[in-house]
Structure 1
Amino acid sequence: SAHVAEGQVTELIGAFRKQNPGVIARLADLRTSDVIASLIRDGHCEIVFSHFPVAAPGLTTRTVGRHEYWLAVPPNADVTWRNPFPLHDLPNLPVMGLPKESSSRTVIEKALQESGSRTVISAVVEQREAVGSFVVEGVGMSFLERTLAERAAVGGARIAPLEPPITVEYGVIYDDARLSPAGRAFLDTLTT
């Protein structure tokens, strides 16, 4: 899924492509993780990056890393700033969110609920890469994967890690019996 293609994932794919310039990497956005197993079994793709946990019976899953979500606030928001920002004491600002079926939204909402925080959604944005721009324009605050938060900060957003941190594991899902030589070579780069 393109949703996990930040930070280490882009570095892994970039390094692999430099070593194997003839191999084509295709990244697509999966609306839900429900389709992962069928995409692999039906031969539409060999390896899927996804947030975990994910239901993939009969397939191999391997954790690759962990995304950390940070708070991003509009540049001119009247907020008493803290770093890290306590999850139980968030600013009283509307939130830019992702669609309900997003795995990261599920994790973020669970963390907010556990901390006792209440938020109000101002907008739901399908393309997570666009959320930072909306934060910069003052539409609301958001919880962004760290590298996306850092990009939003370049545009003027104020960002901070959260306390406690909100993290989501991600990794690869594949059928070991159906891997091509290129697929095996890519997975080998994950262990070196």
Structure 2
Amino acid sequence: MELRHLRYFLAVAETHNFTQAAARCYVAQSALSQQVARLEKDVGAPLFSRTSRSVRLTAAGELLEPLARRILADVDNAQAALDALAGLRRGRLRLGLVQTMAVPFDMVEVLADYRVRHPGVDLRVSNAPSSRMADAVLAGTLDLAVVGLDARQAPQGLDHRTLGSAPLVVVVPREHALADRDAVDLAELPDSHPLIQFSRGSGLRRQVEAAFTRAGAEAGLHFEVGQIRDMIRLAARGVGVTVVPRSAVVGPGSVVGFDTADDLPHGARMLRLTDAEAVHHICVVYDGTRLAPAAEAFLDVLDRHGGDRSA
């Protein structure tokens, strides 16, 4: 079994197409097919179910896929560790970054600081729902992920460090029945305005739904949006109400750039929740058993900016 065989196998698994996989790997389709066939011979079982219309993983292929990703991730980490002997002049950091930053520091400044300290590292930042990014760290396709999960929600097998937290608040339009209140219980929200929810699988979505459960109310799914900024602006325009971290609405790290709650447009109001447990947590998750030097260096930069090393 050779590493290139595993790379070809993963390319086919991801594209479900031998022609596209060959183009991704810069080899002829016939050569890629031969190498995949050789890998199947080595493992003693077919890895793909091939028809004229589709290419799907077999049971053996599904078993091999996560193992292949971890093997290739280990090889990359080994190369990075060797690079580190020369002072981390090279390397790669694949970082997942959540939209909502309930942290006492500016993540943009963290990234800029890291770049200044390690200019030779290939830094790749991506965004996805928190649960998906945590799973990617577990699978070895991300080195680190800053996610909207608390310690109880972090997947088993991963280490984590808490970076910060912020209380959840409700943003309502000015004509809402509760707009003159300072604090509300989620059970008090009427159905007159639909609930604007964040994407499924996100840490924020989980925390909001947990808050509704504690309130004995149904969150429902009336309106789903993939950007926190749009959720707040839609609520201000009267489309519905939304529950978001306070740090996303006001303060230096807010996604809409408001300094105070009085800056909300269209007379919208930001209301506190009476539920003290309704908090949006941010942590960084990683696999401490396979932490590449570039990832370790990023944790060090986080510490300099105020990241908490406690787990």
TM-score class, shorter-chain normalisation, is: 0.7 to 0.9
Q: CA, structure 1 residues 4+10, in 2 after alignment: closer, same or farther (shift >3 Å)?
A: farther
* Counterpart contact for 2:169–2:244, Cα < 8 Å: yes
User: Which consecutive unaligned segments of at least 5 residues does structure 2 have?
Assistant: 1-95, 251-255, 305-311
Write the deviation string for residues 19-71 of structure 1: whole angstroms up to 9, x where unpaired. Answer: 642256543222351453444653x43211112312141x3212222232110
Matches within 5 A, 1:30-179: 30-31=128-129, 33-34=131-132, 36-39=134-137, 41-42=139-140, 44-50=141-147, 51-52=149-150, 53-57=153-157, 59-79=158-178, 81-92=180-191, 93-118=193-218, 121-150=221-250, 151=256, 153-156=263-266, 157-165=268-276, 166-179=278-291
CA distance change for structure 1 residues 136 and 114 in 2, over 3 Å: closer, same or farther? same
- Please state whether the residue corresponding to 1:8 is helix, strand or coil: coil
1:11 aligns with 2:106: yes
Cα gap change, 1:88/1:146 in structure 2, threshold over 3 Å: closer, same or farther?
same
| Cα distance change, pair 164–189 in 1 and its aligned pair in 2 (3 A) | same
Relative to 1, partners in 2 of residues 1:180 and 1:68: Cα closer, same or farther, differing over 3 Å?
same
CA contact (8 A) 1:34 1:55 kept: no
Check whether the contact 1:66–1:169 (CA below 8 A) recurs between aligned residues: yes
The answer to whether the Cα contact below 8 Å between 2:137 and 2:285 also exists between their aligned partners in 1 is no
Instruction: Find the aligned partners of 1:127 and 1:10 in 2 and give their Cα distance.
Output: 21
Q: What TM-score does the superposition give when structure 1 sets the normalisation length?
A: 0.79
Of 293, 303, 308, the residue aligned with 1:191 is 303
Report the CA distance shift for 1:32/1:47 in structure 2 as closer, same or farther (over 3 A): closer
Structure having greater relative contact order (Cα 8 Å, sep ≥ 6): 1
Distance 1:8 1:167, change over 3 A: same
Q: If you compute each CA radius of gyration, which structure gives the higher value, 1 or 2?
A: 2
- Structure 1 equivalent of residue 125 of structure 2: 27
Return the letter of the residue paired with 2:239: V
RMSD: 2.9
Q: What is the one-letter code of the residue matched to 2:198?
A: L
- Paired with 1:25 and 1:146, the residues of 2 have a C-alpha distance of 29
**2:172–2:269 Cα contact (<8 Å) kept:** yes
Tell me if the contact between 2:232 and 2:249 (Cα under 8 Å) persists in the aligned partners: yes
Q: Point out the structure with the larger helix share.
A: 2
Secondary structure at the residue paired with 2:280?
strand
Bigger shift: 112-121 or 157-166?
112-121
The answer (yes or no) to whether the contact 2:204–2:280 under 8 Å persists in 1 is yes
* Counterpart-to-counterpart distance in 2, 1:122 and 1:139: 11
Contact 1:4 1:170 in 2 (8 A): no
- The normalised TM-score by structure 2 is 0.52
Please give the secondary structure, in 1, of the residue aligned with 2:303.
coil
Any stretches of 5+ residues in structure 1 without a counterpart? none
CA distance in 2, matches of 1:190, 1:90: 38
AA in 2 matched with 1:86: D
CA distance, structure 1, for counterparts of residue 175 and residue 228 of structure 2? 22
Distance 1:75 1:66, change over 3 A: same
Distance (Å, rounded) in 2 between the aligned partners of 1:138 and 1:26: 37
In the aligned structure 2, how far is the partner of 1:5 from the partner of 1:128?
7
User: What is the Cα deviation at residue 162 of structure 1?
Assistant: 0.8
